[in-house]
Each structure stands twice: as C-alpha cells, then as structure tokens.
C-alpha cells in the first residue's frame, strides 16, 4: 500500500510529519499546522483552513493566490499559465483557492468580486490584486512586488 497521491506529489510543505487537515493530506514541518510550508516550484491547493497557516509559513516570501471556481472558463485558461509562473519564479509561493461554498468565508474575507482574482501577499498582507484572466498584468504585478 503506497502513500496517497497528495503525499507523493508534494502538494504541501516538506519535512517531518504528515497530517490530514480539512480532508486534505499535508506534509508539515512539525505537528502544528501553524508551521506548514508550501512547496516552491508548483501551485499548492489551499482551503479556508490551510490558507493562513501556509501564508504565515511562507515567511517573508511573496505569495500569489489564484482565486478561481471550477466552472469559470477564464480560470481554466489561466490555470496552466499560473503553473508555469510557479515553475519560473522559484522565490515566490503560488497558491490556489477554489471559491466554492465551503471556502466562501475566506473568499469574502479576501474581498473577491470576480473570478479569477489574483492576490499578491507579502508578510501576510495583501499588497496587490489583479482581476480577470490578464496574464501580462499578473506578471507585471509579480515583478513589481519582487523589485520593491
């Protein structure tokens, strides 16, 4: 019997232990979710329970959050491009949040109005936002934050 796919794929942080949080398998640095760390070089799925611990776990790294829905056509177009950005910007953490009913409180807290919406965070604070499937605007926003 092998490990669940989410363990093998390294969807969330690496190091010591494994836990199930919100129905998702996670690899965490310790037994505390508060120290969870996302993996760079790929997009990490988050939900209302894992988002803030992972943002805090990113420390001073820039975090880019893709807020999407499964039924959104432009969101589907942006998904592979967002993955490519995560592979290119290894110093940035890329997260994605399905703005479904379960995650609605977090989406509301983050002030989503349309999907896709991309939030750029630094030190656990939202500092930039890009709405719509605008790859060039997203790249420019990431570069601006990285150079500031």
HEC sequence for the chain: CCCCHHHHHCCECCCCEEEEECCEEEEECCCCHHHCCECCCCEEEECCCCHHHHHHHCCCCEEEEEEECCCCHHHHHHHHHHHHHHHHCCCEEEEEEECCCCCHHHHHHCCCCCCCEEEEEECCEEEEEEECCCHHHHHHHHHHHHHC
Q: Which tens digits make up the pLDDT trace of 95-118?
A: 999 999 999 999 999 999 999 999
Q: Which tens digits make up the pLDDT trace of 40-99?
A: 899 999 999 999 999 999 999 999 999 999 999 999 999 999 999 999 999 999 999 999
Q: Which of 33, 75, 110, 133 is catalytic?
A: 75
99 is catalytic: no
What pTM value is reported for the model? 0.77
Residue 46: CATH number of its domain = 3.40.30.10
72 is catalytic: yes
The reply to whether 126 falls in a domain is yes
The reply to whether 83 falls in a domain is yes
The reply to whether 34 falls in a domain is no
Q: Which of 21, 25, 39, 72 is catalytic?
A: 72
């Amino acid at each position: 019997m092998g490990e669940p796919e989410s363990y093998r794929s390294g969807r969330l942080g690496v190091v010591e232990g494994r836990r199930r949080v919100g129905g998702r398998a996670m690899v965490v640095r310790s037994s505390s979710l508060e120290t969870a760390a996302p993996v760079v070089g790929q997009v990490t799925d988050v939900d209302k329970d894992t988002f803030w611990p992972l943002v805090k776990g990113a420390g001073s790294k820039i975090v880019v959050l893709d807020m999407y829905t499964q039924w959104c056509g432009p969101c589907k177009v942006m998904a592979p491009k967002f993955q490519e950005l995560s592979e290119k910007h290894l110093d940035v953490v890329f997260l994605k949040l399905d703005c479904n009913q379960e995650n609605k409180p977090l989406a509301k807290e983050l002030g989503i109005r349309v999907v896709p919406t991309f939030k750029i965070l630094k030190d656990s604070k939202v500092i930039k936002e890009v709405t719509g499937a605008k790859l060039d605007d997203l790249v420019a926003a990431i570069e601006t934050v990285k150079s500031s």
